[in-house]
Structure 1
Amino acid sequence: MANINVSLQVLPSVPEERVYPVVDKVIEMIKESGVKYEVGPMETTMEGDLDTLLEIVKKAQKICTQEGAKRVVSVVKIDYKEEGVTMDEKISKYR
Structure 2
Amino acid sequence: MSLANVSLQVLPVVSEDRVYPVVDKVIELIQQSGVKYIVGPMETTMEGELDVLLDIVRKAQEICINEGASRVVSIVKIDYKPEGVTMDEKINKYR
TM-score, length of structure 1 as denominator length: 0.99
Shift of 1:83: 0.3
Q: For 2:80 and 2:58, how far apart are their aligned partners in 1?
A: 19
The CA distance in 2 between the partners of 1:44 and 1:10, in whole Å, is 9
Question: For 1:44-74, what per-residue CA distance to the aligned partner results, in whole angstroms no more than 9, with x for missing partners?
Answer: 0000011000000000000000000010000
1:9-88 aligned within 5 A: 9-88=9-88
Whole-Å separation in 2 of the counterparts to 1:34 and 1:80 = 19
2: CA distance, partners of 1:66 / 1:24: 13
> How much identity, in percent, do the aligned residues show?
78
One-letter amino acid matched to 1:35? V
Name the SS for the 1:26 alignment partner: helix
Paired residue total: 95
Counterpart-to-counterpart distance in 2, 1:52 and 1:4: 10
Q: Find the residue that maps to 2:11 and give its secondary structure.
A: strand
TM-score (norm 2): 0.99
Gaps of 5+ in 2: none
Unpaired runs of at least 5, structure 1: none
The runs of at least 4 aligned residues of structure 1 exceeding 3 Å deviation read none
Alignment RMSD: 0.3
Q: Which residue of 2 aligns with 1:5?
A: 5
Could you tell me how far apart the structure 1 residues matched to 2:87 and 2:50 are?
Answer: 14
Secondary structure at 1:41's aligned position in 2? coil
